[in-house]
Homo-oligomer: A and B are copies of this chain.
Amino acid sequence: MANKELQIITGKDEMRQWSRSARAQGKTIGLVPTMGYLHEGHLSLIQESKQHSDLTVVSIYVNPGQFSPSEDLSTYPSDFNGDVNKLKNIAGGVDVVFHPKNLYDYGRRDDLTDAGKKMKIDDLEEGKVVSCVENGGMGHETWIRVERLEKGLCGSSRPVFFRGVATIVTKLFNIVEPDVAVFGKKDYQQWRIIQRMVRDLDFGIKIIGAELVRDTDGLAKSSRNVRLSPQEREKALSISESLFKAKTAAEKGRLVCRDLKDSVIRTIHEAGGKVDYAEIVDQESLEALEEIKSPAVFCVAAWFGNVRLVDNMEIDV
Protein backbone atom coordinates (compact mmCIF):
# COMPACT_ATOMS: atom_id res chain seq x y z
CA MET A 1 0.00 0.00 0.00
CA ALA A 2 1.35 3.41 -0.92
CA ASN A 3 2.08 5.71 2.00
CA LYS A 4 0.26 9.01 2.32
CA GLU A 5 2.09 11.94 0.84
CA LEU A 6 4.69 13.59 3.08
CA GLN A 7 4.33 17.36 3.26
CA ILE A 8 7.33 19.56 4.06
CA ILE A 9 6.45 22.78 5.87
CA THR A 10 9.03 25.44 6.70
CA GLY A 11 6.93 28.42 7.83
CA LYS A 12 5.52 28.90 11.33
CA ASP A 13 2.23 30.34 10.13
CA GLU A 14 1.74 27.65 7.52
CA MET A 15 2.44 24.99 10.14
CA ARG A 16 -0.08 26.41 12.62
CA GLN A 17 -2.65 26.78 9.87
CA TRP A 18 -2.22 23.15 8.85
CA SER A 19 -2.72 22.03 12.45
CA ARG A 20 -5.75 24.21 13.06
CA SER A 21 -7.40 23.05 9.89
CA ALA A 22 -6.70 19.41 10.83
CA ARG A 23 -8.13 19.94 14.27
CA ALA A 24 -11.18 21.68 12.85
CA GLN A 25 -11.78 18.42 10.96
CA GLY A 26 -11.71 16.55 14.26
CA LYS A 27 -8.26 15.02 13.74
CA THR A 28 -5.75 14.64 16.58
CA ILE A 29 -2.11 15.55 16.01
CA GLY A 30 1.05 13.90 17.34
CA LEU A 31 4.37 15.75 17.40
CA VAL A 32 7.82 14.15 17.47
CA PRO A 33 10.45 16.88 17.94
CA THR A 34 13.89 15.92 16.58
CA MET A 35 17.15 17.54 15.56
CA GLY A 36 17.30 15.33 12.44
CA TYR A 37 19.88 12.77 11.36
CA LEU A 38 17.20 10.24 12.10
CA HIS A 39 17.98 6.75 13.33
CA GLU A 40 15.89 3.83 14.53
CA GLY A 41 15.48 5.50 17.91
CA HIS A 42 13.64 8.38 16.27
CA LEU A 43 11.62 6.01 14.12
CA SER A 44 10.42 4.23 17.25
CA LEU A 45 9.28 7.57 18.68
CA ILE A 46 7.30 8.15 15.50
CA GLN A 47 5.70 4.71 15.70
CA GLU A 48 4.77 5.49 19.29
CA SER A 49 3.23 8.79 18.26
CA LYS A 50 1.18 7.16 15.52
CA GLN A 51 -0.51 4.97 18.10
CA HIS A 52 -1.84 8.02 19.94
CA SER A 53 -3.02 10.36 17.18
CA ASP A 54 -4.58 10.52 13.74
CA LEU A 55 -1.86 12.64 12.15
CA THR A 56 1.88 12.84 12.76
CA VAL A 57 4.21 15.83 12.55
CA VAL A 58 7.97 15.30 12.84
CA SER A 59 9.95 18.46 13.42
CA ILE A 60 13.57 18.61 12.30
CA TYR A 61 15.40 21.58 13.75
CA VAL A 62 18.85 21.85 15.28
CA ASN A 63 18.14 24.26 18.11
CA PRO A 64 20.93 26.82 18.71
CA GLY A 65 19.23 27.72 22.01
CA GLN A 66 20.39 24.50 23.69
CA PHE A 67 24.04 24.71 22.62
CA SER A 68 26.58 26.91 24.36
CA PRO A 69 29.00 28.72 22.02
CA SER A 70 31.73 26.21 23.01
CA GLU A 71 29.65 23.13 22.12
CA ASP A 72 29.20 21.18 18.89
CA LEU A 73 26.40 23.10 17.16
CA SER A 74 28.42 23.64 13.98
CA THR A 75 29.40 19.97 13.68
CA TYR A 76 26.06 18.48 14.70
CA PRO A 77 25.37 15.90 11.98
CA SER A 78 22.61 16.59 9.48
CA ASP A 79 21.18 14.93 6.36
CA PHE A 80 17.78 16.39 5.55
CA ASN A 81 17.24 14.49 2.29
CA GLY A 82 18.20 11.23 3.95
CA ASP A 83 15.79 12.02 6.80
CA VAL A 84 12.94 12.70 4.39
CA ASN A 85 13.57 9.39 2.63
CA LYS A 86 13.47 7.54 5.93
CA LEU A 87 10.21 9.25 6.88
CA LYS A 88 8.66 8.37 3.51
CA ASN A 89 9.36 4.71 4.19
CA ILE A 90 7.84 4.57 7.64
CA ALA A 91 5.00 2.05 7.81
CA GLY A 92 1.73 3.97 7.64
CA GLY A 93 3.52 7.19 6.82
CA VAL A 94 4.10 10.57 8.39
CA ASP A 95 2.00 13.59 7.45
CA VAL A 96 4.28 16.58 7.90
CA VAL A 97 7.94 17.34 8.33
CA PHE A 98 8.21 20.73 9.99
CA HIS A 99 11.63 22.03 8.99
CA PRO A 100 11.96 25.73 9.88
CA LYS A 101 15.06 27.68 8.94
CA ASN A 102 15.45 29.81 12.06
CA LEU A 103 12.93 29.78 14.89
CA TYR A 104 14.58 32.77 16.58
CA ASP A 105 14.33 35.16 13.64
CA TYR A 106 11.35 37.38 14.31
CA GLY A 107 11.76 39.33 11.12
CA ARG A 108 12.29 42.77 12.54
CA ARG A 109 15.41 44.63 11.58
CA ASP A 110 15.49 46.70 14.76
CA ASP A 111 15.63 43.58 16.88
CA LEU A 112 18.48 42.25 14.81
CA THR A 113 20.41 45.47 15.22
CA ASP A 114 19.46 47.17 18.49
CA ALA A 115 18.49 44.35 20.78
CA GLY A 116 20.77 41.97 18.91
CA LYS A 117 23.76 44.15 19.45
CA LYS A 118 22.99 44.37 23.13
CA MET A 119 22.76 40.62 23.51
CA LYS A 120 26.18 39.89 21.99
CA ILE A 121 28.14 37.66 24.25
CA ASP A 122 30.86 40.21 25.08
CA ASP A 123 28.33 42.71 26.35
CA LEU A 124 26.62 40.32 28.71
CA GLU A 125 27.21 40.41 32.43
CA GLU A 126 30.28 38.45 33.35
CA GLY A 127 29.61 34.86 34.31
CA LYS A 128 26.18 34.76 32.71
CA VAL A 129 25.51 31.58 30.76
CA VAL A 130 24.53 32.13 27.17
CA SER A 131 23.54 29.91 24.28
CA CYS A 132 24.30 30.25 20.59
CA VAL A 133 21.09 32.28 20.32
CA GLU A 134 22.35 35.18 22.41
CA ASN A 135 25.72 34.77 20.78
CA GLY A 136 24.09 35.15 17.39
CA GLY A 137 22.49 38.38 18.51
CA MET A 138 18.93 37.59 17.49
CA GLY A 139 17.19 39.54 20.24
CA HIS A 140 15.41 36.54 21.74
CA GLU A 141 15.25 36.94 25.51
CA THR A 142 12.49 34.68 26.86
CA TRP A 143 13.56 31.43 28.49
CA ILE A 144 11.76 28.74 30.42
CA ARG A 145 13.42 27.42 33.53
CA VAL A 146 12.43 24.20 35.27
CA GLU A 147 14.34 25.24 38.28
CA ARG A 148 15.00 22.04 40.23
CA LEU A 149 15.02 19.37 37.53
CA GLU A 150 17.31 21.37 35.21
CA LYS A 151 20.12 21.48 37.76
CA GLY A 152 21.74 18.04 38.13
CA LEU A 153 23.03 15.40 35.69
CA CYS A 154 23.42 16.93 32.20
CA GLY A 155 22.46 20.33 33.61
CA SER A 156 25.66 20.51 35.65
CA SER A 157 28.01 20.38 32.68
CA ARG A 158 25.62 22.00 30.17
CA PRO A 159 24.12 25.00 31.99
CA VAL A 160 22.15 26.40 29.02
CA PHE A 161 20.98 23.03 27.74
CA PHE A 162 17.64 22.45 29.45
CA ARG A 163 16.70 26.10 29.37
CA GLY A 164 17.11 25.84 25.62
CA VAL A 165 15.25 22.54 25.35
CA ALA A 166 12.26 23.69 27.42
CA THR A 167 12.06 26.89 25.41
CA ILE A 168 12.26 25.32 21.95
CA VAL A 169 9.74 22.65 22.92
CA THR A 170 7.35 25.38 24.05
CA LYS A 171 7.85 27.19 20.75
CA LEU A 172 7.15 23.98 18.83
CA PHE A 173 4.08 23.29 20.98
CA ASN A 174 2.77 26.78 20.25
CA ILE A 175 3.41 26.49 16.52
CA VAL A 176 2.26 22.91 15.94
CA GLU A 177 -0.43 22.84 18.67
CA PRO A 178 -0.36 19.04 18.98
CA ASP A 179 -2.55 16.81 21.16
CA VAL A 180 0.30 14.44 21.94
CA ALA A 181 4.10 14.75 21.89
CA VAL A 182 6.63 11.95 22.19
CA PHE A 183 10.04 12.17 23.85
CA GLY A 184 12.62 9.43 24.17
CA LYS A 185 13.57 8.13 27.59
CA LYS A 186 17.13 7.98 26.28
CA ASP A 187 17.22 11.65 27.26
CA TYR A 188 15.72 10.81 30.60
CA GLN A 189 16.20 14.16 32.32
CA GLN A 190 14.84 15.97 29.26
CA TRP A 191 11.72 13.79 29.28
CA ARG A 192 11.10 14.47 32.98
CA ILE A 193 11.69 18.21 32.49
CA ILE A 194 9.20 18.38 29.63
CA GLN A 195 6.65 16.41 31.67
CA ARG A 196 7.05 18.81 34.57
CA MET A 197 6.93 21.86 32.34
CA VAL A 198 3.72 20.67 30.68
CA ARG A 199 2.16 20.14 34.09
CA ASP A 200 3.37 23.45 35.57
CA LEU A 201 2.41 25.54 32.54
CA ASP A 202 -0.91 23.72 31.92
CA PHE A 203 -0.26 22.79 28.32
CA GLY A 204 -3.18 20.79 26.96
CA ILE A 205 -0.78 18.22 25.52
CA LYS A 206 -0.17 14.61 26.53
CA ILE A 207 3.52 13.72 26.87
CA ILE A 208 4.59 10.18 26.08
CA GLY A 209 7.96 8.76 27.07
CA ALA A 210 9.22 6.19 24.55
CA GLU A 211 11.66 3.49 25.58
CA LEU A 212 15.37 3.81 24.76
CA VAL A 213 16.45 1.88 21.65
CA ARG A 214 19.80 0.07 21.49
CA ASP A 215 21.92 -1.30 18.66
CA THR A 216 22.37 -5.07 18.73
CA ASP A 217 25.70 -4.61 20.53
CA GLY A 218 23.90 -2.67 23.28
CA LEU A 219 25.00 0.89 22.47
CA ALA A 220 22.15 3.37 22.95
CA LYS A 221 21.21 4.80 19.55
CA SER A 222 22.23 8.42 19.09
CA SER A 223 22.81 10.75 16.15
CA ARG A 224 26.24 11.43 17.62
CA ASN A 225 27.29 7.75 17.32
CA VAL A 226 28.38 8.31 13.70
CA ARG A 227 31.19 10.47 14.98
CA LEU A 228 32.72 7.58 16.92
CA SER A 229 35.63 5.74 15.27
CA PRO A 230 35.20 1.93 15.18
CA GLN A 231 37.69 1.69 18.06
CA GLU A 232 35.89 4.35 20.10
CA ARG A 233 32.57 2.65 19.46
CA GLU A 234 33.96 -0.66 20.75
CA LYS A 235 35.17 1.06 23.90
CA ALA A 236 31.91 2.96 24.33
CA LEU A 237 30.12 -0.35 24.82
CA SER A 238 31.56 -0.23 28.33
CA ILE A 239 28.73 2.20 29.18
CA SER A 240 25.81 -0.09 28.40
CA GLU A 241 27.63 -3.21 29.56
CA SER A 242 28.46 -1.76 32.97
CA LEU A 243 24.92 -0.37 33.32
CA PHE A 244 23.41 -3.79 32.59
CA LYS A 245 25.71 -5.33 35.20
CA ALA A 246 24.71 -2.72 37.76
CA LYS A 247 21.02 -3.31 37.09
CA THR A 248 21.46 -7.06 37.53
CA ALA A 249 23.43 -6.54 40.72
CA ALA A 250 20.75 -4.24 42.13
CA GLU A 251 18.05 -6.75 41.27
CA LYS A 252 20.04 -9.32 43.22
CA GLY A 253 20.01 -7.05 46.27
CA ARG A 254 23.09 -4.83 45.94
CA LEU A 255 21.31 -1.56 46.65
CA VAL A 256 24.08 0.75 47.91
CA CYS A 257 24.51 3.35 45.18
CA ARG A 258 28.14 4.17 45.98
CA ASP A 259 29.19 0.58 45.13
CA LEU A 260 27.11 0.41 41.97
CA LYS A 261 28.40 3.76 40.75
CA ASP A 262 32.05 2.94 41.52
CA SER A 263 31.83 -0.17 39.45
CA VAL A 264 30.35 1.65 36.40
CA ILE A 265 32.83 4.52 36.64
CA ARG A 266 35.78 2.10 36.90
CA THR A 267 34.63 0.06 33.90
CA ILE A 268 34.17 3.10 31.65
CA HIS A 269 37.43 4.59 32.83
CA GLU A 270 39.34 1.37 32.13
CA ALA A 271 37.87 1.33 28.61
CA GLY A 272 39.38 4.78 28.02
CA GLY A 273 36.24 6.88 28.51
CA LYS A 274 35.97 10.05 30.53
CA VAL A 275 32.93 9.99 32.82
CA ASP A 276 31.01 13.25 33.01
CA TYR A 277 28.61 11.84 35.59
CA ALA A 278 27.29 8.48 36.77
CA GLU A 279 24.35 8.98 39.12
CA ILE A 280 21.57 6.87 40.51
CA VAL A 281 18.56 9.10 41.02
CA ASP A 282 14.87 8.91 41.86
CA GLN A 283 12.86 8.36 38.67
CA GLU A 284 10.60 11.36 39.30
CA SER A 285 12.51 13.95 41.30
CA LEU A 286 15.91 13.02 39.77
CA GLU A 287 17.43 13.47 43.20
CA ALA A 288 20.54 11.43 43.95
CA LEU A 289 19.92 8.31 46.04
CA GLU A 290 22.25 6.70 48.55
CA GLU A 291 20.38 3.45 48.51
CA ILE A 292 17.85 2.17 46.00
CA LYS A 293 14.55 2.05 47.89
CA SER A 294 12.18 3.49 45.30
CA PRO A 295 12.05 3.33 41.48
CA ALA A 296 15.46 4.56 40.39
CA VAL A 297 17.29 5.32 37.18
CA PHE A 298 21.03 5.01 36.64
CA CYS A 299 22.13 7.88 34.37
CA VAL A 300 25.55 8.12 32.74
CA ALA A 301 27.25 10.64 30.49
CA ALA A 302 30.75 9.92 29.23
CA TRP A 303 33.16 11.13 26.58
CA PHE A 304 34.84 8.83 24.12
CA GLY A 305 37.18 10.90 21.98
CA ASN A 306 35.31 14.07 21.07
CA VAL A 307 31.90 12.51 21.47
CA ARG A 308 29.74 12.84 24.55
CA LEU A 309 27.35 9.93 24.97
CA VAL A 310 24.44 9.54 27.39
CA ASP A 311 22.75 6.36 28.50
CA ASN A 312 20.50 5.27 31.33
CA MET A 313 18.76 2.28 32.80
CA GLU A 314 15.68 2.18 34.99
CA ILE A 315 16.00 0.02 38.09
CA ASP A 316 12.73 -1.02 39.70
CA VAL A 317 13.47 -3.13 42.77
Tell me the bound Cα distance from A148 to B114 in angstroms: 13
Is there a chain B Cβ closer than 8 Å to A122's Cβ?
no
List residues 133-148 of chain A with CB under 8 A from any CB of chain B: 140-148
Which of A74-82, A83-91, A195-203 forms contacts with chain B? A195-203
Q: Name the residue of chain B whose CB is nearest to the CB of A174.
A: B202
Beta-carbon contact of A141 and B285 below 8 Å: no
Is there a chain B Cβ closer than 8 Å to A24's Cβ?
yes
| Cβ contact of A197, chosen from B23, B142, B149, B196, cutoff 8 A | B142
Tell me the bound Cα distance from A155 to B140 in angstroms: 19
Beta-carbon contact of B24 and A201 below 8 Å: no
Is there a chain B Cβ closer than 8 Å to A16's Cβ?
yes
Task: Determine the chain B residues whose CB is within 8 A of the CB of A148 once the complex forms.
Answer: 115, 118-119, 141
Tell me the bound Cα distance from A251 to B284 in angstroms: 59
| Cβ contact of A143, chosen from B103, B119, B145, cutoff 8 A | B145
Q: Which of A119, A140, A201 has the most CB of B within 10 A?
A: A201
Tell me the bound Cα distance from A148 to B199 in angstroms: 26
Tell me the bound Cα distance from A141 to B149 in angstroms: 8
Q: Name the residue of chain B whose CB is nearest to the CB of A197.
A: B142
Encoded as 1 (CB less than 8 Å from any B CB) or 0, chain A from 139 to 183 comes to 011111111110000000000000000110011001101000000
Is there a chain B Cβ closer than 8 Å to A295's Cβ?
no
Is there a chain B Cβ closer than 8 Å to A186's Cβ?
no
Is there a chain B Cβ closer than 8 Å to A204's Cβ?
yes
Is there a chain B Cβ closer than 8 Å to A12's Cβ?
yes
| Cβ contact of A141, chosen from B140, B147, B171, cutoff 8 A | B147
CB A159 to nearest CB in B, in angstroms, measures 14
Tell me the bound Cα distance from A118 to B287 in angstroms: 11
Task: Determine the chain B residues whose CB is within 8 A of the CB of A200 once the complex forms.
Answer: 106, 140-142, 171
CB A57 to nearest CB in B, in angstroms, measures 15
Task: Determine the chain B residues whose CB is within 8 A of the CB of A143 once the complex forms.
Answer: 144-145, 147
List residues 177-229 of chain A with CB under 8 A from any CB of chain B: 177, 196-197, 199-204
Going nearest first, the 8 A-B pairs with the smallest beta carbon separation are A142-B200, A174-B202, A171-B202, A141-B147, A141-B148, A142-B146, A142-B197, A174-B203
Other A-B pairs, 13, CB within 8 Å; known A24-B24, A167-B201, A170-B202: A106-B199, A106-B200, A114-B285, A115-B148, A115-B285, A119-B148, A141-B147, A142-B200, A142-B201, A171-B200, A174-B201, A174-B203, A175-B202
